[in-house]
Amino acid sequence: MPENLIGKRVDVLDKGYVELQDLMPHPASGISGDSAIVSAARVSFLGESKGPEKDKKLLFYLMRNHHTSPFEMVEFKLRVRAPLLTWWQWTRHRTFHYQSANAQSGRYTPFDENDFYVPSEWRRQSSSNKQASEGTLEPDVSRELTDKLIAFYEKGYALYEEALAAGVAKEMARLFLPGFSVYYTWVVKTDAHNLMNFLRLRMASDAQYEIRVYAQAIFEHFFKPALPWTAEAFEMYVLNNPSQPEGAAT
Protein backbone atom coordinates (compact mmCIF):
# COMPACT_ATOMS: atom_id res chain seq x y z
CA MET A 1 0.00 0.00 0.00
CA PRO A 2 1.39 3.46 -0.84
CA GLU A 3 2.64 5.12 2.35
CA ASN A 4 1.15 8.48 1.38
CA LEU A 5 -2.39 7.18 0.75
CA ILE A 6 -3.76 8.65 3.98
CA GLY A 7 -4.07 12.39 3.51
CA LYS A 8 -4.24 12.11 -0.27
CA ARG A 9 -6.83 14.41 -1.85
CA VAL A 10 -8.33 14.06 -5.34
CA ASP A 11 -10.21 16.89 -7.05
CA VAL A 12 -13.73 16.08 -8.31
CA LEU A 13 -16.09 18.26 -10.37
CA ASP A 14 -15.24 21.97 -10.45
CA LYS A 15 -14.72 22.63 -6.73
CA GLY A 16 -15.12 19.28 -4.98
CA TYR A 17 -12.71 16.67 -3.69
CA VAL A 18 -12.34 13.34 -1.94
CA GLU A 19 -9.67 12.88 0.74
CA LEU A 20 -8.76 9.70 2.61
CA GLN A 21 -8.47 10.65 6.27
CA ASP A 22 -7.97 7.24 7.84
CA LEU A 23 -8.01 3.54 7.13
CA MET A 24 -8.44 0.39 9.20
CA PRO A 25 -6.14 -1.47 9.38
CA HIS A 26 -3.84 1.53 9.42
CA PRO A 27 -0.83 1.30 7.06
CA ALA A 28 1.49 1.78 10.05
CA SER A 29 0.29 -1.56 11.43
CA GLY A 30 2.01 -3.37 8.60
CA ILE A 31 -1.18 -5.36 7.96
CA SER A 32 -2.75 -4.94 4.55
CA GLY A 33 -6.51 -4.65 4.19
CA ASP A 34 -6.63 -7.73 1.98
CA SER A 35 -4.78 -9.72 4.68
CA ALA A 36 -7.22 -8.49 7.31
CA ILE A 37 -10.12 -9.78 5.21
CA VAL A 38 -8.50 -13.18 4.75
CA SER A 39 -7.65 -13.42 8.46
CA ALA A 40 -11.25 -12.63 9.39
CA ALA A 41 -12.46 -15.39 7.09
CA ARG A 42 -10.02 -17.95 8.51
CA VAL A 43 -10.80 -17.17 12.14
CA SER A 44 -13.77 -19.54 11.85
CA PHE A 45 -11.17 -22.30 11.77
CA LEU A 46 -8.60 -20.48 13.93
CA GLY A 47 -6.37 -20.33 10.86
CA GLU A 48 -3.76 -17.83 9.75
CA SER A 49 -2.13 -16.83 6.46
CA LYS A 50 -1.20 -19.67 4.13
CA GLY A 51 0.89 -17.50 1.83
CA PRO A 52 -0.05 -14.94 -0.86
CA GLU A 53 -1.25 -17.44 -3.46
CA LYS A 54 -3.68 -19.29 -1.19
CA ASP A 55 -4.73 -16.14 0.62
CA LYS A 56 -5.66 -14.44 -2.65
CA LYS A 57 -7.49 -17.54 -3.82
CA LEU A 58 -9.58 -17.51 -0.63
CA LEU A 59 -10.40 -13.81 -1.02
CA PHE A 60 -11.60 -14.42 -4.57
CA TYR A 61 -13.72 -17.32 -3.28
CA LEU A 62 -15.31 -15.00 -0.71
CA MET A 63 -16.18 -12.41 -3.34
CA ARG A 64 -17.45 -14.96 -5.88
CA ASN A 65 -19.71 -16.69 -3.35
CA HIS A 66 -20.98 -13.54 -1.56
CA HIS A 67 -19.39 -14.30 1.82
CA THR A 68 -19.45 -10.62 2.70
CA SER A 69 -18.83 -10.28 6.43
CA PRO A 70 -14.99 -10.57 6.23
CA PHE A 71 -14.98 -7.48 4.00
CA GLU A 72 -16.55 -5.51 6.84
CA MET A 73 -13.25 -5.79 8.73
CA VAL A 74 -11.76 -2.96 6.62
CA GLU A 75 -12.96 0.63 7.06
CA PHE A 76 -12.44 3.84 5.08
CA LYS A 77 -12.82 7.33 6.56
CA LEU A 78 -13.25 9.97 3.88
CA ARG A 79 -13.56 13.73 3.82
CA VAL A 80 -15.72 14.72 0.83
CA ARG A 81 -16.71 18.08 -0.59
CA ALA A 82 -19.65 17.79 -2.97
CA PRO A 83 -22.71 19.78 -4.06
CA LEU A 84 -26.00 19.07 -2.34
CA LEU A 85 -27.46 17.36 -5.40
CA THR A 86 -24.76 14.70 -4.89
CA TRP A 87 -25.34 14.39 -1.14
CA TRP A 88 -29.07 14.11 -1.73
CA GLN A 89 -28.38 10.72 -3.31
CA TRP A 90 -25.37 9.74 -1.19
CA THR A 91 -26.99 10.03 2.24
CA ARG A 92 -30.11 8.17 1.14
CA HIS A 93 -28.06 5.33 -0.28
CA ARG A 94 -29.39 2.21 1.41
CA THR A 95 -26.31 0.09 0.75
CA PHE A 96 -24.27 2.73 2.59
CA HIS A 97 -26.38 2.29 5.72
CA TYR A 98 -23.47 1.39 8.00
CA GLN A 99 -21.79 4.70 7.39
CA SER A 100 -21.04 7.26 10.06
CA ALA A 101 -21.27 10.82 8.79
CA ASN A 102 -20.82 14.36 10.03
CA ALA A 103 -21.52 17.38 7.83
CA GLN A 104 -20.58 21.03 7.61
CA SER A 105 -23.39 23.17 9.00
CA GLY A 106 -24.60 26.38 7.45
CA ARG A 107 -25.90 27.32 10.89
CA TYR A 108 -22.35 27.76 12.19
CA THR A 109 -20.15 28.38 9.15
CA PRO A 110 -20.96 31.04 6.54
CA PHE A 111 -20.76 30.01 2.90
CA ASP A 112 -18.19 31.50 0.53
CA GLU A 113 -19.09 33.23 -2.71
CA ASN A 114 -17.70 30.39 -4.84
CA ASP A 115 -19.40 27.56 -2.94
CA PHE A 116 -21.63 26.67 -5.90
CA TYR A 117 -21.40 23.95 -8.52
CA VAL A 118 -21.07 25.14 -12.12
CA PRO A 119 -21.45 22.21 -14.54
CA SER A 120 -19.04 21.93 -17.45
CA GLU A 121 -21.92 21.00 -19.80
CA TRP A 122 -25.70 20.70 -19.79
CA ARG A 123 -27.23 17.28 -20.34
CA ARG A 124 -30.52 16.57 -22.09
CA GLN A 125 -33.40 14.81 -20.40
CA SER A 126 -33.58 11.14 -21.38
CA SER A 127 -36.53 10.32 -23.62
CA SER A 128 -36.87 6.83 -22.14
CA ASN A 129 -35.95 7.30 -18.47
CA LYS A 130 -37.67 9.94 -16.34
CA GLN A 131 -34.77 10.17 -13.88
CA ALA A 132 -31.85 10.05 -16.33
CA SER A 133 -30.12 12.21 -18.90
CA GLU A 134 -28.66 11.53 -22.32
CA GLY A 135 -26.46 13.61 -24.59
CA THR A 136 -25.71 17.30 -24.18
CA LEU A 137 -27.11 20.60 -25.38
CA GLU A 138 -25.46 22.62 -28.13
CA PRO A 139 -22.39 24.64 -26.95
CA ASP A 140 -24.02 28.05 -27.51
CA VAL A 141 -27.12 27.06 -25.55
CA SER A 142 -24.93 25.62 -22.78
CA ARG A 143 -22.90 28.83 -22.52
CA GLU A 144 -26.07 30.89 -22.25
CA LEU A 145 -27.44 28.64 -19.50
CA THR A 146 -24.14 28.75 -17.62
CA ASP A 147 -24.10 32.55 -17.73
CA LYS A 148 -27.65 32.65 -16.37
CA LEU A 149 -26.78 30.15 -13.64
CA ILE A 150 -23.76 32.18 -12.49
CA ALA A 151 -25.88 35.35 -12.45
CA PHE A 152 -28.46 33.49 -10.36
CA TYR A 153 -25.73 32.42 -7.92
CA GLU A 154 -24.34 35.95 -7.68
CA LYS A 155 -27.76 37.42 -6.96
CA GLY A 156 -28.59 34.80 -4.34
CA TYR A 157 -25.23 35.22 -2.63
CA ALA A 158 -25.59 39.01 -2.60
CA LEU A 159 -28.95 38.63 -0.84
CA TYR A 160 -27.38 36.11 1.57
CA GLU A 161 -24.65 38.61 2.50
CA GLU A 162 -27.25 41.38 2.79
CA ALA A 163 -29.26 39.28 5.23
CA LEU A 164 -26.17 38.49 7.31
CA ALA A 165 -25.22 42.17 7.39
CA ALA A 166 -28.74 42.97 8.62
CA GLY A 167 -28.21 40.62 11.54
CA VAL A 168 -30.20 37.65 10.25
CA ALA A 169 -29.08 34.32 11.75
CA LYS A 170 -26.96 32.20 9.42
CA GLU A 171 -29.51 29.37 9.70
CA MET A 172 -32.10 31.64 8.07
CA ALA A 173 -29.91 33.72 5.76
CA ARG A 174 -29.00 30.59 3.83
CA LEU A 175 -32.57 30.49 2.50
CA PHE A 176 -31.33 32.91 -0.16
CA LEU A 177 -28.73 30.41 -1.44
CA PRO A 178 -29.53 28.11 -4.40
CA GLY A 179 -30.07 24.84 -2.55
CA PHE A 180 -29.06 21.96 -4.81
CA SER A 181 -25.84 23.58 -6.02
CA VAL A 182 -24.26 24.54 -2.68
CA TYR A 183 -21.10 22.63 -1.81
CA TYR A 184 -21.03 20.89 1.57
CA THR A 185 -18.10 19.13 3.25
CA TRP A 186 -18.72 15.82 5.02
CA VAL A 187 -16.67 13.23 6.86
CA VAL A 188 -18.02 9.74 6.16
CA LYS A 189 -16.89 6.32 7.32
CA THR A 190 -17.91 2.90 6.04
CA ASP A 191 -16.60 -0.65 5.70
CA ALA A 192 -15.33 -2.20 2.48
CA HIS A 193 -18.44 -4.39 1.99
CA ASN A 194 -20.89 -1.49 2.08
CA LEU A 195 -18.53 0.71 0.12
CA MET A 196 -18.48 -1.89 -2.66
CA ASN A 197 -22.28 -1.86 -2.76
CA PHE A 198 -22.14 1.92 -3.12
CA LEU A 199 -19.50 1.72 -5.85
CA ARG A 200 -21.37 -1.02 -7.72
CA LEU A 201 -24.44 1.18 -8.12
CA ARG A 202 -22.87 4.63 -8.35
CA MET A 203 -20.15 3.76 -10.89
CA ALA A 204 -22.77 2.28 -13.20
CA SER A 205 -23.30 4.05 -16.51
CA ASP A 206 -26.88 4.97 -15.60
CA ALA A 207 -25.88 6.66 -12.31
CA GLN A 208 -26.10 10.45 -12.24
CA TYR A 209 -22.84 11.99 -13.40
CA GLU A 210 -22.41 14.18 -10.31
CA ILE A 211 -22.24 11.16 -8.01
CA ARG A 212 -20.62 8.77 -10.49
CA VAL A 213 -17.44 10.85 -10.64
CA TYR A 214 -17.12 10.68 -6.84
CA ALA A 215 -17.57 6.92 -6.83
CA GLN A 216 -14.98 6.54 -9.59
CA ALA A 217 -12.50 8.73 -7.70
CA ILE A 218 -12.92 6.68 -4.52
CA PHE A 219 -12.47 3.41 -6.38
CA GLU A 220 -9.47 4.39 -8.51
CA HIS A 221 -7.53 6.51 -6.03
CA PHE A 222 -8.29 4.88 -2.67
CA PHE A 223 -10.07 1.53 -2.86
CA LYS A 224 -7.79 -0.08 -5.47
CA PRO A 225 -4.50 1.04 -3.88
CA ALA A 226 -5.67 0.02 -0.38
CA LEU A 227 -7.23 -3.32 -1.40
CA PRO A 228 -5.68 -4.49 -4.69
CA TRP A 229 -6.84 -8.12 -4.38
CA THR A 230 -10.33 -7.10 -3.32
CA ALA A 231 -10.56 -4.55 -6.13
CA GLU A 232 -9.47 -7.15 -8.68
CA ALA A 233 -12.07 -9.64 -7.43
CA PHE A 234 -14.70 -6.90 -7.27
CA GLU A 235 -14.07 -5.98 -10.90
CA MET A 236 -14.14 -9.61 -11.99
CA TYR A 237 -17.22 -10.87 -10.15
CA VAL A 238 -19.30 -7.72 -9.53
CA LEU A 239 -18.54 -4.85 -11.91
CA ASN A 240 -18.20 -7.14 -14.90
CA ASN A 241 -21.16 -9.24 -13.84
CA PRO A 242 -23.78 -6.70 -12.69
CA SER A 243 -26.69 -9.14 -13.06
CA GLN A 244 -25.29 -11.38 -10.36
CA PRO A 245 -27.46 -11.00 -7.22
CA GLU A 246 -25.98 -9.66 -4.02
CA GLY A 247 -25.68 -12.28 -1.32
CA ALA A 248 -26.64 -11.88 2.31
CA ALA A 249 -23.93 -11.18 4.85
CA THR A 250 -22.57 -14.29 6.55
> Which DSSP symbol is given to 116?
B
- CB-based contact 181:153 (threshold 8 Å): yes
- CB-based contact 1:27 (threshold 8 Å): yes
* 110 Rama sector, left if φ>0, alpha if ψ -120 to 50, beta otherwise: beta
Cβ contacts of 224 within 8 Å, gap of 6 or more = 231
Query: The dihedral of CA 222, 240, 43, 38: what is its sign?
Result: negative
Active site residues: 202
> Which DSSP symbol is given to 249?
P
> Which DSSP symbol is given to 174?
G
> Which DSSP symbol is given to 207?
S
- CB-based contact 196:234 (threshold 8 Å): yes
Residues 98 and 176: their CA atoms lie apart, in Å, by 34
Residues 238 and 86: their CA atoms lie apart, in Å, by 24
